[in-house]
Amino acid sequence: MKRASLNSWLCFSIALLVFILSLLLSPYYLYEDQEIYRLVYKGIQEKPFIEAFSFYKANIYTDEFGHFLVIWLFSSFAEKDVLMSFLNGVVAYLASWLLKNKGANFFVIFIAVVLGYYSWSLFLSAERLKVSTLFILLGFFLYLNRSKFSSLVAFFLSVVTHLQNIIVVIIFVLGKYYSDVSKLFLRLKVSKKAVFMFLFVIVCFVLALYFFYGHISYKLRAYSVSLSVDEFLRLTLFFVLTLFYGRKELGKVVIIFSILFIMVSLVGGMRINVLGYFVFLYYCVQTRGGLNFGFFITSAYYFLNLIDYVFNVVQCGSNNPC
């Protein structure tokens, strides 16, 4: 069997396993956010588009419409847990393929995707973020397969599903045009790529503020915290580890984490730590395929968190203790 075919089958096997495990675990998650998501999924069935979206907004309090489009299209003929389990499988396949593309060992991919705490937080808890992540992973997949326009569409869908992922898109663009940006600041040389990058970032911010100003204001108030050292600890750990594994791209790593630290100061560490972990993972798997101290120590820590998470879901109906 050719290596490409073998890799695809291994990625598919991980996706199938995540799909099956999701089918087994999803029915237990009934409360907190999922209580609302289940209510909305049932409530929009067979409603016309405008009426369904009004019902969606009245219960989920968001103008981000990507998640709504997905569940509105499928809610009339697919049971919610089956649909979400299928989407989990798609996320798992794309994540596995992308990690393998960066040189990750399949044992590492299995641990990160199937036994990862943040993976299951997406699979079971953070439903809108999960759908947004599916689109952004699809965008990366399409970009790497030379389908640039389709990747832009996927990135757009990701942002209008969950605004948090505009950070990921901006980081991706900064990474692609880092050399041009560094020339601009260090040598005062302006290239067409650098101009495009700045225009892209500005347009993203302007469009986000224009269409989602009320939603952004609400979320900033909801997630704003009194800053403490604890809010930065986990992201700082990921930063230090990423500096080590990404030392060949030191400047890029510093810029990425500078953005993440600014976001922590605005909305707290809970959501931004997830991004910090995946940035760390991106660089970590490029050293010995991820078979290194940094990966195993973080995976061991988060596996203990995953055990508590799954226990709470099965026993208490949510990720929080009874």
State yes or no: pLDDT of 226 exceeds 80.
no
pLDDT above 70 coverage of the chain, percent:
82
pTM: 0.88
In a 10 Å sphere around its CB, with 0-12 CB exposed, 13-18 middle and 19+ buried, how is residue 67 labelled? buried
Least confident range from 81-95, 203-217, 245-259: namely 203-217
Angle between helix axes 269-284 and 293-316 (nearest 10 degrees) is 140
Give the pLDDT confidence of 153-206 residue by residue, as tens digits. 899 899 889 888 888 888 887 777 666 666 555 555 556 655 665 676 677 667
Q: How far is residue 84's CA from residue 21's CA, in Å, rounded to a whole number?
A: 12
Contact 108/285 with Cβ under 8 angstroms? yes
Angstrom distances, CA of residue 290 to CA of 100, 117, 206, 293, 314 = 10, 17, 38, 9, 31
What would the mean pLDDT of 284-305 be, rounded to a whole number?
94
Q: pLDDT tier at 211 (50, 70, 90 boundaries)?
A: low
DSSP three-state, residue 250:
helix
What backbone phi and psi angles, to 5 degrees, belong to 269?
-85, -20
pLDDT above 90 coverage of the chain, percent:
57
State yes or no: pLDDT of 273 exceeds 80.
yes
What sign for the dihedral angle of Cα 157, 161, 167, 168? negative
